Each structure stands twice: as C-alpha cells, then as structure tokens.
Amino acid sequence: MKRDIYTEEHEMFREAYRTFLERELVPNHDRWESSGIMDRSVFAKAGESGFLAMAVPEEYGGSGVDDFRYNNVVVEELCKADLYAAGLGLTLHTDICLPYFNDWCNEEQKRRWLPGIANGELITAIAMTEPGIGSDLASMGTTAIRDGDMYVVNGSKTFITNGINCDLLILAVKTDPAQKHKGMSLLVVETDTEGFERGRNLDKVGMHSQDTAEMFFTDMRVPVENILGNEGEGFSLLVKNLPQERMSVAMAAVAHARVMLDMTLQYAKERQAFGQPIGSFQNSRFKLAEMETEITIAESFIDRCIVALNAGELNAEEASMAKWWCTELQGRVATECVQLHGGYGYMNEYPIARAFTDARGSTIYAGTTEIMKEIIGRSMGV
C-alpha cells in the first residue's frame, strides 16, 4: 500500500540520506557492533551534511526543518541499511533530546548549546532512570541542592543511551527531595564537569553498536543558569516531551518490522524444502500474510500520528498506543521471521539474528508496554 504522507522533497531527502549511510555508516557497522559503541565522528558528519537535529532554527546553525516526516524517513533508511541499533544514538539526539533544548532553553542557553547540537560537536543524552527505580520517576534519589548560584548534585543514573559519547546530559533531579513530582527539575550537565563520572558501557543482549552507560554524580556543582525552565517543572516538561519520544520509538519499531519481513520474504522465495520454496507452503504464506497485514495497519496509524504531531495535536494516549503496539508487533515479527528462517535464523551471520536481539529492548525503554497501557487505561476513566 502506497504511503501518501511523503512529498517529492521527502523522497529527495531519502535518497541523499541513503547515500550518506552507505558512505559513512554501513562500512563501519560490524566494527561498532564488536566494540560496543559508534564513532563520535558520525554525529559531526551527519551535522555537516544537514542530517542531524534538523529542527534547530537557522539562527542557531540548524536547517529549521520542523517536520517529523523527515525524522521518519531517517529511521526507515537506518533500518533498511541494517543500522537499527547504531541509529538509535542519532535519533535520540534528534528526536528525543533536541525538543528540550528547542522548547525550554532561554535565549542564552540556546546560543550556548544549539549550534553544537546542530553540527554534531555536542552529543546529547537524557538521564531519568536510576538503578533502584524504573518508570517511577517521582521516587528518584538523585538530588540537586542549591548552594548560592550552583546546584550540588549527588546520585546515579543507569541505562543511558549515548551515555559514553555524550557531551550534554539532560539530567532529571530532585531539587526538593521532600516533594514527589513537584520536586523534580531538569538540569543540563556538561559532562566535563568535576564530580561527573561515567560508569560501564553496559553489555546488552542486543543493540551492541549503541552505547548505554551508568553515570555517577558526587558533589557535582552545576550552575543554576543550566536549569531548564524553573525549579519544580521537571516532571511537567518530561510529560510534554514524552509523546514525541514514544513516537520516535514506535516509528523505528514499525520500520524495523517492515525490513525484517522484507528480508524474510526474500529468503522464503529462495530457500527450497521438499522441492519447493518454503514460502509456498500454506503455513508460511499465512504467516507472511499476517505480518504484511499488521505492519501495513501499523504504518497507517504511524502516519496519522506523525500528521498529528506536526500539527501539535498528538496526545499522550495516542503516543502510548503507538509505542506499545508497534514495539510488541516488532517483537512478534522478529520471532516469526527467525522461525521462518529455520536454523539459519539462529546464526549471527544472517541479519535476521541480529534484528531479533536488537528488537527485544524496544518494549522496555521509553516506557514499558505495561506503563503505556496504564496511561491509556487511566485516560478511559478506569
């Protein structure tokens, strides 16, 4: 089914971005999978080519393209190039972290940070999760106690995407430990600050080329001028930006599912068993038909959500629907595609094996499936 949300300009962008990926990322992907981290230089190369943080206004060094259809083109092409894991660092920077700087920075902060975010010299990350808590952000233990014109920060975070590479960290803290949601604030931490320490690059089941780190803060002094918004607004700022974050994850999940199906369909046409292609058996045809149908339905919903996001009309409930359903679909497709590959599906030399392990984490990060259902259920009055 033809998707009609794209214009000729989007398709021209797609061709240019595909060329960039083939030149700069594809040749290095296996090395990054082995080393557990993507080269920092990729961010600068993407920024130089206009493929990073596109929504940064022109006056701050960006292209000023605030159209999330381009972001979806990016994730689709990353998945087609078998760069799902490596691409997460880029999309986190552009889709998830950038809105905090674009929307909530004051003029001085924008001039200080946005040019580097646009050109890839300043790699961003966001730190919410702590070792002792998952989605219960109001119970966080990381504190930022004001001391004159500085905040003194103590605590730790974990599972931080871009945690090894990042230069700027959006850090969720408690500026008033006696409060829950109302005590949360967001600080921007420059990672060369004394008292900031990176822990391990965590050893994940999949997504090996994307760095995920622990972080520790010991009497770290952060200038008061680095706060986003005002004290006590941290939770509300997170809530406002979470729909776009969850849309980014949902878009990648659907794009990844489409690519897994395409590679499996090709395999099913070529692989012979009992004198005929395995795709010609009724069970195989039915499985392929089911996946084609569900992915097409998901793409239709994603397109609708992108249009709503561009119009400023996407709400938390719709974003939660997209996030949980599309990531669960991604997992189902990964499992079915490995099964249709048979023994070869369990071999790392086949792309479907890596896709299978990479897909598993998406139902967890950016809010688990269960949390997404809770958000939707509460909106229904139950």
Residues 173 and 223 in one domain: yes
Q: Is residue 35 part of a domain?
A: yes
The domain of 191 spans: 125-232
Q: Is residue 349 part of a domain?
A: yes
**What pLDDT band is residue 133 in, cutting at 50, 70 and 90?**
confident
d(CA 194, CA 289): 56
Q: Is residue 130 part of a domain?
A: yes
Residues 242 and 133 in one domain: no
Q: How high is the pLDDT of residue 82? A: 95
Q: Is residue 269 part of a domain?
A: yes
Query: Among the options 245, 294, 318, 336, which is catalytic?
Result: 245
**What pLDDT band is residue 139 in, cutting at 50, 70 and 90?**
confident
Q: Is residue 1 part of a domain?
A: no
Indicate if 214 belongs to the active site: no
Q: How high is the pLDDT of residue 204? A: 96
**What pLDDT band is residue 1 in, cutting at 50, 70 and 90?**
low
Residues 189 and 79 in one domain: no
Q: Is residue 96 part of a domain?
A: yes
Residue 258 sits in a domain of what CATH number?
A: 1.20.140.10
44-61 confidence digits (pLDDT tens):
999 999 999 999 999 999
Residues 239 and 371 in one domain: yes
Instruction: DSSP for 278-344, please give it.
Output: GGGSHHHHHHHHHHHHHHHHHHHHHHHHHHHHHTT---HHHHHHHHHHHHHHHHHHHHHHHHHHGGG
Other C-beta atoms closer than 10 Å to the C-beta of 221 total 15
Q: How high is the pLDDT of residue 138? A: 80
Residues 239 and 226 in one domain: no
Residues 27 and 147 in one domain: no
Residues 131 and 61 in one domain: no
Per the prediction, the chain carries an average pLDDT of 96
What pTM did the predictor assign?
0.95
303-320 confidence digits (pLDDT tens):
999 999 999 999 999 999
Q: Is residue 2 part of a domain?
A: no
- Domain edge (last residue) among 232, 248, 265: 232
Residue 221 sits in a domain of what CATH number?
A: 2.40.110.10
7-28 average pLDDT score: 97
CA–CA distances in Å: residue 334 to residues 120, 233, 303: 32, 39, 22
Residues 375 and 253 in one domain: yes
Residues 371 and 250 in one domain: yes
Domains held by the chain: number: 3
